[in-house]
Amino acid sequence: MTAPTVSPVSLTAVDGPGQPVVTPELEDLYRGFEKELLVPLWTEIGDLMPPHPRSKAQPHLWEWTKLLELAGRAGNLVPVGRGGERRAIALANPSLGGKPYASPTLWAAIQYLMPGEDAPEHRHTQNAFRFVVEGEGVWTVVEGDGIPMRRGDFLPQAGWNWHAHHNAASAPMAWIDGLDIPFQYEVESQFFDFGRDEISEAEHATPDRSRSQRLWGYPGIAPVSAIGSTAGSPLLSYRWENTDRALADQLLLEKEGFGGTVEPGHAAIRFTNPTNGADVLPTIRTQFHRIARGVETAPVQTTGSSVYQVFDGAGRVTVGQFSWSVCRGDMFVVPSWQPLSIVSEASGSDSDSGALDLFEFNDAPLFEKLNLYRTHTLTAGDPS
Ligand code: GTQ
Ligand code: FE2
């Protein structure tokens, strides 16, 4: 390999605090740096080492009605099969250069399967999950275990497990996927294998409960045959019924004077690995929030990024300089250190409790492992 004839290093001498006086000798020094592919710290420090995270990503909202309408059109036009693998459509952050990244670390997509369709089996190092905001009828088959997907269910699927999806119903179904694709792309850790083009007849079964749920789905109870911690959760679905009751009980306990919420009127749960209490995936944290009607959450800044999907109710979300009205299915991204606050507003329908339910995923496990996790709740005295 020979050095490039045109150097990718380009240095401009400018006057300024901490900068050297611009002279012909300085210009000559900078041309020397460029030729030898050298970059001095003093011209870059403000961008490389800012006082706090300045995310390249931007807060953004994607409306569910639009996602679903476009996914439905793709359902009629785009086949699912080997090669493309999935009819998944990614949320592209407006300031990440058109890459299919919701944030610098996280992939978020809507996936769509027509009745009777199969998405072929494969495995990859990327950690993944599915979350269902509406509908039912698809079974995800992980290592041969058929796992039903229904509204409110959360299905983690750690890297390197074989998986396929099968729509056994007579209607199309959509759900969302979250993966650490951008993170693994940037750190260049990915491996990918194609599996069988078609799963077996037996794996097309539609059991009400997966094998993983029968083994691991009892709170506080582990099967003695399989005790020992695993990096990804062996429980492959977290059913809505349990999530809903856990959130409802937190708000009731608070009302009874026993606490249990993260702040007044704000219940929150984390999906955890039953073998060790850690996050369900090595790189992705997943949580669920219920904000009682009329409650406004305190603005919080966190290192790392998160993506939310509104599960139920309506409200107003503020992320940094952005603010949106949100309703069921809407998805938004919160870049690193951008303050997030949420107000729960009545959705207009009398039947609902008026609470705002949100599913959240973020990259906190990565930041925690690297000792880079920080969070700060803004109060009236903080500079804006
Ligand atoms: O369902 O296996 O959104 O492999 C992106 C990559 C979904 C999947 C995505 C995938 C999948
Ligand atoms: Fe996959």
pLDDT at 182: 98
* Residue 381 confidence (pLDDT) above 90: no
Where does a domain end: 180, 200, 226? 226
CA distances from 87 to 20, 68, 151, 217, 299 (A): 55, 12, 20, 30, 36
Query: Element (H or E) spanning 119, and its range?
Result: strand 118-124
The alpha carbon of 135 and the centre of ligand 1 are apart by a number of angstroms equal to 19
Cα 114 to Cα 167: distance, rounded to the nearest angstrom: 7
* Global confidence as pTM: 0.95
Does 69 share its domain with 204? yes
Q: Would the CB of 366 count as within 6 Å of ligand 1?
A: no
Does 219 share its domain with 248? no
Where does a domain end: 177, 193, 226? 226
Does 289 share its domain with 362? yes
What CATH number should be reported for the domain holding residue 124?
2.60.120.10
Task: pLDDT band for 46, please (50, 70, 90 cuts).
Answer: confident
Closest ligand to the CA of 160: 2
The alpha carbon of 175 and the centre of ligand 2 are apart by a number of angstroms equal to 14
* Residue 67 confidence (pLDDT) above 80: yes
Does 204 share its domain with 338? no
Report the b/e string of 140-174 with b at 16+ CB within 10 A: bbbeebbbbbbebbbbbbbbeebbbbbbbbeebbb
Does 178 share its domain with 282? no
pLDDT tens-digit map of 306-364: 999 999 999 999 999 999 999 999 999 999 999 999 999 976 655 557 899 999 999 99
User: How deeply is 379 buried, as exposed, middle or buried, from its count of CB atoms within 10 A (0-12, 13-18, 19+)?
Assistant: exposed
For the record, the structure tokens of 374 come out as: 């920080």
Does 73 share its domain with 179? yes
- Domain assignment of residue 367, yes or no: yes
Does 11 share its domain with 107? no
Single-letter residue type at 10? S
Mean pLDDT of 176-201: 96
Single-letter residue type at 374? R
Residue closest by Cα to atom 5 of ligand 1? 88
- Domain assignment of residue 197, yes or no: yes
- Domain assignment of residue 171, yes or no: yes
Closest CA to 117 of 148, 79, 74, 88: 79
Does 160 share its domain with 45? no
Cα 109 to Cα 102: distance, rounded to the nearest angstrom: 9
Does 215 share its domain with 284? no
User: How deeply is 119 buried, as exposed, middle or buried, from its count of CB atoms within 10 A (0-12, 13-18, 19+)?
Assistant: buried
- Domain assignment of residue 347, yes or no: yes
Helix, strand, or coil here: 319? Answer: strand
pLDDT tens-digit map of 211-263: 999 999 999 999 999 999 999 999 999 999 999 999 999 999 999 999 999 99
> 363: which DSSP letter?
-
Q: What is the mean pLDDT of the chain?
A: 95
pLDDT at 1: 60
Residue 115 near residue 146, CB atoms below 8 Å: no
Does 45 share its domain with 64? no
Does 253 share its domain with 195? no
pLDDT at 346: 78
> 133: which DSSP letter?
S
- Domain assignment of residue 292, yes or no: yes
The alpha carbon of 69 and the centre of ligand 2 are apart by a number of angstroms equal to 23
Where does a domain end: 182, 198, 226? 226
Residue 64 near residue 133, CB atoms below 8 Å: yes
- Domain assignment of residue 153, yes or no: yes
Q: Count CB-CB contacts under 10 A for residue 352.
A: 15
Least-confidence region, from 1-5, 72-76, 191-195, 352-356? 1-5
Share of the chain above pLDDT 90, in %: 92
pLDDT at 369: 98
Q: Would the CB of 110 count as within 6 Å of ligand 1?
A: no
Least-confidence region, from 58-72, 150-164, 343-357? 343-357
Domain containing 300 equals 240-377
pLDDT at 259: 94
pLDDT at 380: 81
The alpha carbon of 324 and the centre of ligand 1 are apart by a number of angstroms equal to 28
- Domain assignment of residue 140, yes or no: yes
Does 350 share its domain with 276? yes
CA distances from 131 to 33, 146, 271 (A): 51, 16, 12
CA distances from 41 to 17, 45, 48, 49 (A): 14, 6, 9, 10
Cα 217 to Cα 194: distance, rounded to the nearest angstrom: 30
The number of distinct structural domains making up the chain is: 3
- Domain assignment of residue 296, yes or no: yes
* Residue 72 confidence (pLDDT) above 70: yes
pLDDT at 169: 96
Mean pLDDT of 77-81: 95
